[in-house]
Amino acid sequence: MLQMPLSSSSSKELRSVSDNKVDDVSLYDTNVLLFYVNGNRVEERMVDPMMTLATYLRDHLRLTGTKIGCNEGGCGACTVMISERDPLSGEIRHFSANSCLMPICGVFGKAVTTVEALGNVKDGRLHAVQERLAKTHGSQCGFCTPGFVMAMYSLLRNTPEPSVQQINEAMQGNLCRCTGYRPILEAFYSFAKADTGDLKITETGCGLGEKCCKVNGNGNGNLTDLSTCAPYDPTHELIFPPELTLKHTELRNFAMAHDSTVWYQPAHLADLLVLKRLHPHARVISGNSELAVERKFRFIDLPIVINPRQVVELHEFSLDIKRGVYLATGLSLTQMDERIGEYRQQLEEFQSQTLLEAHKMMHWFAGKHVRNVASIAGNIATASPISDLNPLWMASGTTVVLESEERGERELIIDEKFFVGYRKTTIASDEIVKAIWIPLTEKHEHVTAYKQAARREDDIAIVTGAFCTLLDAETQSVKHMRISYGGMAPTTILALRAMEKGKGRRFDWSLLERVTCELASSLVLPAGVPGGMPRYRLALALSFFYKHFLEVARRENITSIPESIESTKIGESIPQDQYSTQSFTEISSGQAEWDAVGRPIPHVSGQKHTTGEAIYCGDINVPNCLHGAFVTSKFASGILESIDASKALSMPGVVAFFDASDVRPGAKIGHGVGDTDVFVEREIRYNGQPLGLIVATDHETARRGANAVVVNATQKKAIVTIEDALDAKSFICPDMHIHSTMAENNGEQVVSDWNKYDRVVEGTIRMGGQEHFYLECHQCVVIPHEDDELEIVASTQCVADVQTEVGKCLGIPRNKIRVSVRRIGGGFGGKESTAPLCAVPAAIAAIKLRRPVRITLERFDDMAISGNRHPFRFDYKVAVDDNGKLVDMNIACLQNAGHTFDLSIGVIHRCMVHLDNVYHFPRVDVIGKLCKTNLASNTAYRGFGGPQGMFATESIMTHVAEQLGMDIDEFREKNMYESSAKTFWGNSLDPCNARRCWDECIEKSDYYNRKQEAAKFNKLNKYRKRGVALTPTKFSIGFGLKHLNQASALVLIYTDGSVLVSHGGMEMGQGLHTKIIQITSRCLGIDATKIHIQDAATDKVPNASPTAASMGSDLNGLAVQNACDQLNERLAELKNEMPEATWEKLVETAYLRMISLSASGFATTPCDPVDFGTGAPGGEMFSYAVYGTAFCEVEIDCLTGDHHLLRTEIVMDVGDSLNPAIDIGQIEGAFIQGYGLFTMEEIKVRPDGVRLSRGPGAYKIPSADDAPRHFSVHLLKGSSNKNSIFSSKAIGEPPLFLGSCALFAIRNAIKAFRSVCFSHLVKNCSKTKASSVTSDSIHLLLPNVFDWHVKMNYWRRQTFIHPVGC
C-alpha cells in the first residue's frame, strides 16, 4: 500500500495523553479554546462546548452580519469561512461552513472569517464579491446575502479563477426567497473563467460576457455595469494567523469541561481509542450536521463529546491497485471527493467506475457547506436508511476499517449484515470507523447510482439506488450483480433474491423481467410507512434498476436491447452558464441628471446587505434584555387541563412563566373580530398554538425551559381538511357570493338554466398551501419605559397593527406605544397580521418584569405558528358555445381558513374577483366558503388569493379545451378581454394590455418554433419529454377593504439641504424605500443622495395601512408627492426670486424667512367594493390591473418524475417603471416563488393535524439549481398608467402566478409521453388538476412499463394509499 507520508509539520512528535487518564481534561495540551475571528485572537476558558459558532459570533462578539435563518444548516444564511492547517500535510485549507451547526469548540486552532472582515460601506471599502453583488442588484431583503457572499468568498480563497461549475457547486446550501437567483449568479459568474481561459467580465461590463444583451443587441438599457469593477486580487486577503502555525494547534490535544458537556479533541489515534473504551456511548462528532439538529430541537443531553478531526492517522489516504482507494475518516466529504478525483486521473476509466459514481453522488449529498465538514464515518455510523452513499458502498463491496483499543483493527464489508436495524450497525460501541476501502472495478463491471429527492440539490433522498453488474465478455451473462437501495426499508438493503435471479443469466430482456418481478414483489412498502409515498418509492426502485439495465446495455453495445441508445438523464442540454436578457425602456436623453425616476439605481441598502451592516430586529443589542420562548401544543385539537412550569422555573437562568392567567380578561388578538387567544385558556385549536411563555436570560435557556414545562391536555379529533370541515359543517362565517346578472337586472339574480347549454364541462380543482419561508423568522423586542410607554421593534409589515393589538390586549393607549421597523428579512404577506402573535406576549412580559423582552421564533416554530397560503378547492361547471366562446360559469371556492378569521375573508374576496384572469365570462355565479379547521390560521401571502383563483381559471380553460378538442392557445385568444372591457364583477379594464403581453411573449420566446423543437425532441426520446406553455395573468391593484387605500407621509427638510422622508411602508426587500427616494428626488427637484429614509414608525406616521396588496409605492409615493407639493408651493416664490440659487442656499433662505420646511402628505386611491353578502357586483373596486405572460419550457424524466425548468421568458406590463432594476428583480423573484408553489413546495400535515414540514429539511423551496439558465424578462413598452404615481404600476404580487406556467409545461410534457406510449390515456390527463407537480405526482401521471408490477403487488396486499390533502 502506498501511504501518504507525513509532512514535516505533522511528523513532529505527538504528545499522547497517559493511558487510562485520557479522560482527565487537565492532562491535555490545553483547556483553553483558542481561535481567531477576522484576524482577532479569541480565548475562552469556560464556554458551553456545544454552543454554535453562529450564536457565539452574534451574541458574544456582536458580529451580526452572520444571520440565522433555520438553525439546521438548510438555508446558508449563517455561512462563514473557516481556515485550518491540515494535520497531515500542514497545508492551509479554506472552506465554507454553516456556523449554526458548528460547535464553538470545533473551531479550536482555526481561523474564522465572517462577512464583516471583507469590507464595509462606512469605510468605502467593498470586497470584489460584495461590490459585484450589489451592482448586479443581487439582494432584495438582504437577509440571505452575507451567506451568499461568504460562500463565494470561500471559493475564491481556494480558486481565484473558478469555473462556472465550481461556482454553481459553491452556491449549494444557500437559499434566497426574494431574487430568483439570476442576479446573484450573474455577479458570481463574472469571476469565472470562460472556455478560452479569460475572465468573463468584458468591455460591456456584464458578467454574461458575449451573451450580454448589449452585445447581441437584444435589449434596451443596461441593468448592470461591472466595467468599473477591479479584478479580484487574492493577495489582499487576511493571512492565516501565524500564532496558530507556530503553535501547531492542529496537532495539539484539546479538552474543555463545562457544566453540561465535556469536550475531548485528541490528536492521536491511541488517545481516541482509549476514550472510546472508557466512554463507549459518548457521541463522536465531526461535521455535527445531524447531532446539532437533534440537540437543538429534541433537547438531548450530551455529557461527553469526542471530536476526532485532529487525529493525524484519520487524514491518511492512498491508492493500492489491488485493493482500491483507502480514505481515512478524518477527511471531510469534500476532501474525500478531491482525493477521488485525483485517483480517477491516475486510473483507467474502467477501474474507476465506483469512484465516478461516488463523485456524482457527492454532488447531490447535502450542500457544499455541510460536505466541507461532514465525514464519511458519520454517514456510515448513523446508518440512515435514506443515506445517499451507503447504497453505493454496499453495491460496490466497499470495506470499512474499524479499530478498538482492546481488539485492534478489523475490516467489514458493507453488505446485508452490516446494518442490523434502524440506525444500527455491527460497529461495536468501543470501535471507531477508521477508514474505508473503495474497490476498483474490472473490465465489463458496471456501477451506477441514482437518487430522487423533492429537490435535486441539498435535499434528503426519497429513494437511492446503486447497482453493480459484472458481465462475461464472451457470453454476456451475469457473473455477479449487486443491487442496493436506500429508502426502501428501515436500513440500507441488498436485494438478495433479485440478485440471485440475475446471476448467471444472459443480459437481455428476460433478465430485466425476472429481476424486476422479484424487486416488485420483495420491496413492497406497507401503508403508513415512515416517509409515505410507498407506491412511488417502489416505482423509483424499479425505474432505477431499469436505468442501470439500459446503461449497461449501452456500454456493452448489446444490440438485442435497442432501447439502450435511449438517454434517461434529463437536463443534459442545460448550460452551466446563464443566458438572460432584461429589456426595458431607457430614460429619455432630456431627463435631468438629478431626476432619479426611471433609472435602474441599486437598492439603497444593497451594499449594506453585502457587508452585513444592514441591521434587522435580531441584530439590535438591547442591554439587560430577557428572552422568551413559547410553550406550544403538541396536537391540533383538545382541552388544556393544566400546565406546570415548576420544573422550568427551577432551572438556572429561567426568570418567569406567563400563561392565559396573565392576560387581561377578554383580551384577544385579531383584526376587529378579536378571536385569537394570546395563550390558550382552555380549547387547543391547532398544533403549535402558544400555551405559555418562558422568559429567561438567554434564548437557549428559554427554549430548554419551555421544553421542561409539563402540559396536561386531552386530545380531540381534529378537523384538518376542507372535506373534514364540510362534513362537520365547520365554517368561519356565512358564505360569500358574486352574481354577475345582478348588475343588469336591478339587483336581482338570474339563475342559469344549464339544460339549455350543449357543451358543458364540470370538474374539481385542488390547490395546496405554501409556506412563506422568509429568511428572517418572526421576532420582536419590547422595551418598557416610564408611564407604561412601550418601545417595540418588530419584524412586521404593519407597525400600526402591532401597536393596535398590543394596546388593546394590555389596555394601554396607542399614543404610548411606539412601534418601528427599519427593514425586515422578507415578508411576502406572512408578517402582515401575524406579528402580534409574538409582540403581545413579549409586551405582557416586559410590562410585568419591567425589563426588555425579546422573542425570536425558531424556523421550526415559526412554520407551525404563523400560518400559510390558503389551500383551496374549486368545484366548477362551465358552458362554451359552438364557436369556442365562454358562455357561463358556476363555481364554488372552498377555502381552508384555519382556526380563526385572520385575513381569510379578504383572501377569498380577492380569489373570487380573480376567477376571470384575462378572460371575458358573460355570466358568472360564484360562492365562497371559509372552512374552519384545526390548523394555524392561514394568512396573507403574495397574491392574497389571486393566484388560487387564476390557477382555477387556467385549469378550467385547459380542461375545457382538451375535453372539447380545441387548441388551448386559440381558445384563450378567443376569450381574452379586449381593451376597455369590464369584468364580471364590475371593474373597468382601461386599457387592457393582456393581449399585448401575450403577443409580445410569443414573439420574444419564439414560441411556435420552440413548440416544434419540443415536438421533435419528443419523437426522438422515449423516456425524456419536453413541454412548452404560455400562461397569461391579470392582477388587480388595491386593497379590497376601502379604508386601507390611504397613506400618510412626513417630509422634513433640514437647513443643510438634506431631506428626511418618513412614510408608513415597510422595507422588506421590494425596494420601497429606494422608489420613495426616487419619487422624492423628482418631486423636490434634487439629487437622490440628499434624501434619507430611516425607519417606519408609529410616532412619525400614524395609522399606516399594511405594506401589502402591492400598494407600497403607489400609496406612499402619492402621499410623499402630496407633501412635496406643499413644500414646493411654499418655496415657489423664493425660487422665482432666486432662480440661480443652489438647493442648499434656497433652504437656508427659507428657514431664515421662517417658511415651514416640514409637510405631512396624505393620499387615497378609489375603491368601490363588491357586496359579497348579496352578491351584487360593485363599481371600480381596484384602480387598475397589471398584466403579463410567461413562456416556459421543461424537460421531464418519465421514469422518475423528475423535471428541469429549461427556459423562461416573461413579458410584464409595469407601466412607466420607477426603477427597472427593482421591478425586474421583483418579477424574477415572484416567478421563482410561484414556480416553487406549483412544482415542489408541499406542506405536509398528518390526518390528526400535526404539522410535519417544519424546516428546510422537510419543506423545499427552489434553489439556485432550479432557476432556469435561460431566464429573460421584458418590460412592456408604451404602457403608461394614469392611475398611479408617475404612470408606474405595482409589481410585487402580479408576477407570482406566472410560475404556474412551469406546471402547465410539465403537464404538456406528460401528455406528450402518454400520447406516444399510452395514447388511450391522453384524455385522462385532463382530469388531473392538482396544483403541485412534485416528482411523485408527476410520476403517477406517467404510466410506464413497471405500473403493472407496482399495481399488482399493492393489489395483492390491499395497501392502496389515499393521500390526505389540506
Euclidean distance between CA atoms 876 and 767, whole angstroms: 14
CA dihedral 21→22→24→25, nearest 10 degrees, is 160
Count of other CB atoms within 10 angstroms of residue 366: 24
H or E segment to which residue 41 belongs = strand 40-44
Measured CA to CA, the distance from residue 172 to residue 1325 in angstroms comes to 35
- Give the single-character DSSP code of 57: I
Residue 1320 burial (C-beta neighbours within 10 Å; 0-12, 13-18, 19+): exposed
Assess whether 1293 carries a catalytic annotation.
yes
Does residue 787 sit in helix, strand or coil? Answer: helix
CA–CA distance, 833 with 225 (Å, rounded to integer): 39
Given 131, 805, 1195, 1293, the catalytic residue:
1293
Which residues are CB-contacts of 494 (< 8 A; sequence separation ≥ 6)? 394, 395, 415, 416, 482, 483, 484
- Length of the chain equals 1366
Q: What is the DSSP string of 282-303?
A: SEE-SS-TTHHHHHHHH----S
| CB contact at 8 A, 765 and 874 | yes
Task: Say if residue 760 is exposed, middle or buried (CB neighbours under 10 Å; 0-12, 13-18, 19+).
Answer: middle
Contact call for residues 164 and 577 (beta carbons, < 8 A): yes
Which residues have C-beta within 8 Å of that of residue 726, sequence separation ≥ 6? Answer: 894, 931
63 backbone dihedrals φ, ψ, rounded to 5°: -95, 85
Measured CA to CA, the distance from residue 362 to residue 371 in angstroms comes to 8
Round to the nearest angstrom and report the end-to-end CA distance of the chain.
Answer: 59
- 372-375-378 Cα angle (round to 5): 140
Cell of 47: 464556554
Asked if 922 and 888 count as a contact pair (C-beta separation under 8 A), the reply is yes
Buried b / exposed e across 634-644, counting CB within 10 Å, b at 16+?
A: ebbbbebeebe
Please, what's the b/e burial string for 1256-1283 (b: 16 or more CB within 10 A of its CB; e: otherwise)?
bbbbbbbbbbbbbbbbbbbbbeebebeb
For 458-524, give the secondary structure using H, E and C: CCCEEEEEEEEEEECCCCCEEEEEEEEEECCCCCCEECHHHHHHHCCCECCHHHHHHHHHHHHHHCC
- Amino acid type, 1245: V
Q: Do 121 and 608 touch, CB atoms closer than 8 A?
A: yes
For the record, the C-alpha cell of 92 comes out as 492551509
| Nine-digit cell string for 1302 | 412551469
Q: Alpha helices of 45-171 — where are they, by DSSP H?
A: 53-55, 128-135, 145-158, 164-170
The dihedrals phi and psi of 353, each to the nearest 5 degrees, come to -65, -40
CB 407 within 8 A of CB 421: no
Retrieve residue 722's grid coordinates. Answer: 376542507
Number of CB atoms found within 10 A of residue 489's CB? 16
Angle, CA 144 vertex, CA 141 and CA 150 arms, to 5°: 135
3-state helix, strand and coil shares in percent for the chain, rounded to the nearest 5? 35, 20, 45
Residue with cell 468591455: 203
Q: Give catalytic residues, as residue numbers.
A: 1293
